[in-house]
Amino acid sequence: MEDAAGRSDRLSRIAAALNERAAEVTAELVSLYEKELPHLVHDDEGMVSLLSASVYQNIDTAVRIFMHGIDPARVEAPAAALEYARRLAQRGTPVVDLIRAYYLGQMAVLEQAIDEGIRQIHEVDVLGAALRDALSGAFAFIDRVTQQVVTAYEEERDNWLLNRSAVRAARVRALLDEDGLDIGASEAALGYRLRGNHVGLVVWYADTAHPIDPLAGLEALAGRFSEQLARDARPLFVPNDELCAWVWLPVREPQVPTAEQLERAIAGDADVRLAVGDPGRDLEGFRRTHRQAARVHALAVAAGKGCDRVLAFRDVGAFALMASDLSAARMWVEDTLRGLAVDDDQHERLRETLRVFLATGSSYTAAAARLLMHKNSVQYRVRKAQELLGRPVSDNRLDVELALNLCHRLGGAVLPRR
C-alpha cells in the first residue's frame, strides 16, 4: 500500500490532467445546468458568462487543491462564484438551486477524476485509496465553498429586499400623498396596474407574536389573497414596518371579499390580523381604500387583543372614524352612557346586554336567545343599565346604540380613565 505522499502525488497527476480539460468540463456543466436547473441559466449573456466563469474558477480551484496539496479548509470561494450567487439573490432564484448546482458539479468532476484515475492507476488497492482521498478532499472543498456562496447569497438577498422595499414604499407614499404623478411610470416601477378596481388591506402580526420572518409570512399571506380573492392577479405588497404591511388587491368587480374568504385566507396563521377597505377604482380609489383600511387598523390596535382578527370598513367604518380621536370619543361615551361608562366586568355585562336588547328590536326573548340567558336575567340587566343611564333610552336611542357598539369594539380604550 502506498504511503500518503505517494497517494498525494498520484492525485496531483490526476488533477493536472483534469485541469487541462477545465474549459471542456465547464461547458458540459453549463449544459447540464441548463437541463436540470433552468433557473440558473438566464437568457441574458451577462449571466451565462458569469455562470461559466464561476464554474471554471471553481473547477480550477478544486484541481489546484490536489495539484499542490492545499488544505481545503483554507480555500476562499472564487470571486466569480460569489458574484454569481449575489446576482441570483437579486433575481429571486431559490438558494436550493444554487446549492444543488454545487453537488451536481461535484458529481460530474468526480466522474472525470474516476475515469482519469482508472487510466493512470492499474492497482485496485492503490486506485481505491486515491479515490477515497479524492472524495474526502472534494467534500471538504464543496462544504467550504457552499457555505461562503450561500452566505453571500443571503446577505445580498437581505440587502436587495430592503432596498427594493424602501424604493417601493417611497413610490407608494408619493401616490398616496401627491398629485400630478405619471401613472404609467408608477405602474411600471411598481409592477401593479393602478387603472382598475382595488381592495386595500393592512395585514400585521400582533405585538405578542414572534414569527421567524414576519414580512415573509405577510407576503405569503398576500399571495394567498391573490389566489383566493384576486383570481391570481399579482397584489401590491409594501412593508410598513417589521410586523405590518400594506396590500392592494386588483379585483375585476368592485366587491368586498366575503368574511368567509378573508377568514380562509388567514386560517393558516393564528397571529395574523387583517383590516380591509372598501373597493375603489383608479388612483383615487387606490388611495381611498387604503386610507379606510388604515383607519380600521388604527381601530384594531386601539381595541387591543380582544378585537376580531378580521375587520372590514363596511362593518366598522363609523367606529374607525371615531377612533381617530380617542380622547374625544372617550368624552362622548362618558356623556352618552353616564354611569354605564365604567371599565369593569360588571358594567361590561350590563352594556352588552343592553346592546343586544336594542339590536334585537327591544325584545327580551330574542336577546335572551342570543345571549344564552334566561329572559328574567335579561330584564334585570336591562333595567339596571337604564338606571345607570339616568334617562330613558328612547331619549337618544341612536347615540346610546352607537356608544354601546363603540364600547363593544374598543372596550377600555373609549371608557373614562379612573
Are 301 and 290 a contacting pair, CB within 8 Å?
no
Count of positions (residues) in the chain: 418
Q: Which of 32-46, 132-146, 296-310 has the highest mean pLDDT?
A: 132-146
Phi, psi angle pair for 158, to nearest 5°: -60, -45
Q: Where are the alpha helices (DSSP H) in 121-192?
A: 124-177, 183-190
Q: Residue 362 has what pLDDT?
A: 92
Determine if the pTM surpasses 0.75: no
- Residues 6+ positions from 119 with CB-CB distance below 8 Å: none
Q: What does the DSSP 8-state code read for residue 77?
A: P
Percent of the chain clearing pLDDT 70 (strictly above) = 94
Are 153 and 85 a contacting pair, CB within 8 Å?
yes
How far is the C-alpha of 119 from the C-alpha of 136, rounded, in Å?
21
Categorize the per-residue pLDDT at 3 as very low, low, confident or very high, splitting at 50, 70 and 90.
low
Which three three-digit cell numbers place residue 279? Answer: 373597493
Measured distance between the N- and C-terminal CA atoms of the chain, rounded to whole angstroms: 90
pLDDT in tens, 315-347: 888 888 887 788 888 899 999 999 999 999 999
Closest CA to 284 of 188, 200, 190: 200
Find the helix packing angle between 345-359 and 364-371, rounded to 10°.
Answer: 130
Average pLDDT, integer, range 272-293: 94
Closest CA to 414 of 299, 314, 277: 299
> 3-class secondary structure for 26-46?
HHHHHHHHHHHCHHHCCCCHH
Please compute, for residue 283, the number of CA atoms within 13 A of its CA located in the half-sphere on the CB side.
15
- Residues 6+ positions from 338 with CB-CB distance below 8 Å: 388, 389, 390
pLDDT in tens, 207-263: 778 888 888 888 888 888 777 766 657 899 988 878 889 999 998 888 877 878 888
* Residue whose C-alpha cell is 438558494: 95
Are 87 and 50 a contacting pair, CB within 8 Å?
yes
- Dihedral sign for Cα 404, 406, 410, 414, please: negative
Q: What does the DSSP 8-state code read for residue 243?
A: T
Are 249 and 263 a contacting pair, CB within 8 Å?
no
One-letter amino acid identity for 59? I
Q: Residue 118 has what pLDDT?
A: 86
Strands (E), 172-305: 197-205, 236-241, 244-251, 272-276, 280-281
Enumerate the β-bridge partners of residue 310: 274
- Residues 6+ positions from 253 with CB-CB distance below 8 Å: 197
Q: Are strands 280-281 and 244-251 parallel, antiparallel or unpaired?
A: unpaired
Q: Residue 115 has what pLDDT?
A: 86
**Mean pLDDT of all residues in the chain?**
86
Which three three-digit cell numbers place residue 87? Answer: 446576482
* Residue whose C-alpha cell is 458529481: 107
Q: What does the DSSP 8-state code read for residue 70?
A: -
Q: Are strands 310-312 and 272-276 parallel, antiparallel or unpaired?
A: parallel
Strands (E), 72-163: none
pLDDT in tens, 76-123: 999 999 999 988 887 778 889 899 999 998 898 888 888 888 888 888
Strands (E), 231-375: 236-241, 244-251, 272-276, 280-281, 310-312
Closest CA to 275 of 199, 171, 329, 197: 199
Which three three-digit cell numbers place residue 80? Answer: 466569480
* Residue whose C-alpha cell is 344564552: 372
Enumerate the β-bridge partners of residue 238: 246
